[in-house]
């Protein structure tokens, strides 16, 4: 899952960041694939994900239409998981994001028992993913690694901005937007939670981790 591998951070910073993907094979009956993907997402809700979604439409903090100038004071920013699940209308990639290893492992164990017949991928620190597979009695098929950032890294923005922006695998959370949200939090004009949810709305692939973003924006770190 190369679009999720480049999440920037030290191992201890990534210890609260786990993504589980489901992908049907090409040529599978579309209606069957849609039912399977919806079941995957519904089952994930049992394990307290911090985001879930459809790579075609985004996660549960989705953009809204018909917004006016007062949106910043009255916008409903609560997660809308059922809206996301009901909106899955074509085969594709769906994902659930977790901020705790235990929740991710429990979900993978449930998926093993369900045997949905689709490819399941875990995006996490390699040792955590391997531990999960062993705990669930799964033989890992393959593994991909990111080699990190190479080249003129001195031109990259500050560490926290990189951590926020790289949580969208398709780059739709820009450095500029991440910097703007960081500035708003630092100046007291926005709470870390509101800023994290704003960033999550721009992630079209639904793998943004708003819980980790809130930790970064508030200056706190989740360990283990």
pLDDT tens track for 58-69: 899 876 666 666
Please compute the mean of the pLDDT values over residues 1-17 and round it to a whole number.
84
Is the pLDDT at 206 greater than 80? The verdict is yes
Mean pLDDT taken over the chain:
89
Is the Cβ–Cβ distance between 177 and 202 less than 8 Å? yes
pLDDT for residue 212: 96
Is the pLDDT at 43 greater than 50? The verdict is yes
- From the list 70, 208, 127, the residue with the least C-alpha distance to 217 is 208
Please compute the mean of the pLDDT values over residues 124-134 and round it to a whole number.
94
For the chain, the domains span 2-218
| Percent of the chain surpassing pLDDT 90 | 69
The string over 138-154, giving b where at least 16 C-beta atoms fall within 10 Å of a residue's C-beta and e elsewhere, is eeeeeeeeeeeeeeeee
Read off φ and ψ for residue 171, nearest 5 degrees: 70, 20
What are the CA-CA distances from residue 105 to residues 40, 81, 111 (Å)? 14, 20, 10
Q: pTM for the whole thing? A: 0.90
pLDDT for residue 1: 47
Is the Cβ–Cβ distance between 125 and 212 less than 8 Å? no
For residue 99, give both structure tokens: 């901020």
Number of H helices, E strands in the chain: 9, 5
Band of the pLDDT at 113, cuts 50, 70, 90? very high
pLDDT for residue 131: 95
Is the Cβ–Cβ distance between 92 and 54 less than 8 Å? yes
Give the C-alpha separation, 154 to 204, whole Å.
28
């Amino acid at each position: 899952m190369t679009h999720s591998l480049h999440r920037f951070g030290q191992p201890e910073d990534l210890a609260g960041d786990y993504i589980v993907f489901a992908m049907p094979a090409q040529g599978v009956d579309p209606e069957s694939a849609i039912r399977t993907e919806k079941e995957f997402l519904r089952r994930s809700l049992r394990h307290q994900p911090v985001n879930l979604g459809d790579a075609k439409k985004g996660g549960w903090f989705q953009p809204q239409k018909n917004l006016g100038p007062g949106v910043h004071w009255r916008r409903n920013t609560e997660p809308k998981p059922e809206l996301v699940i009901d909106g899955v209308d074509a085969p594709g990639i769906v994902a659930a994001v977790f901020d705790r290893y235990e929740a991710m492992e429990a979900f993978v164990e449930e998926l093993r028992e369900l045997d949905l017949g689709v490819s399941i991928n875990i995006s996490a620190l390699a040792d955590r993913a391997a531990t999960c597979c062993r705990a669930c009695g799964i033989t890992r098929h393959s593994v991909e690694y990111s080699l990190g950032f190479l080249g003129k890294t001195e031109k990259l923005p500050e560490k926290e901005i990189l951590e926020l922006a790289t949580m969208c695998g398709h780059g739709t959370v820009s450095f500029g937007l991440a910097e703007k949200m960081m500035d708003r939090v630092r100046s007291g004009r926005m709470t870390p939670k509101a800023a994290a949810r704003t960033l999550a709305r721009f992630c079209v692939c639904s793998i943004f981790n708003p819980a980790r973003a809130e930790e970064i924006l508030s200056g706190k770190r989740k360990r283990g």
